[in-house]
Amino acid sequence: MPISLYDAFVPTTRQVLGSVQALLDKAEGWCAANGVAETEIASASLHESMLPFSFQIKSVARHSFGAVEGVRAGSFDGMSGAMPGDFAGMKALLAKADDGLATVTPQEMESFIGKDMQFALPNMKLPFTAENFLLSFSQPNFFFHATAAYAILRAKGVGLGKRDFMGQLRLKL
């Protein structure tokens, strides 16, 4: 059975976006219960060479709906936009990404197939077809940053488990 580009990208991306939003809710509650400042979480990382939690959240948003916007424009810059400094800003960024993905139709996603686009940094441009950009670049980056955000929260002591990361499963009922 063939699977559409929409089905390969949008539903699972929205599932994990929802789980990352729920991770933020749990982190916010944990901070309140433990007297930890939001800025401590926002600036946390697993290693000194790693970008902070707020960057991970920004990147989850950028590699979800931001990737679709990049395909629409023909170019994607994963670094643009400010990093939110608090939970409210992070939640707003993720909600905007999820709201944007909710407007994407299967027909629009299918119209992207074969379209040229690029990942552009000041000193480097990587050419892709839209589908290869979404599935071989943005989707792996999306999962990487969602996993990094989860791992940072776990390392800080927020009570999370695998089920928290997985989000709302699409069960056959």
Q: Which residues pair with 76 in a beta bridge?
A: 119
Q: What is the SS3 string spanning 43-75?
A: CCCCCCCCCCHHHHHHHHHHCCHHHHHHHHHCE
pLDDT level of residue 82 (50, 70, 90 thresholds): confident
Give the right CATH number for 5-166 from 1.20.120.450, 3.40.190.10, 3.40.50.920, 3.40.50.12170. Answer: 1.20.120.450
Helix (H, G, I), strand (E, B) or coil at 145: helix
Distance CA(84)–CA(102), nearest Å, equals 22
Distance CA(15)–CA(34), nearest Å, equals 29
pLDDT level of residue 81 (50, 70, 90 thresholds): confident
* pLDDT for 132: 98
Please give the biggest Cα pair distance in the chain: 52
pLDDT level of residue 85 (50, 70, 90 thresholds): confident
Distance CA(48)–CA(139), nearest Å, equals 25
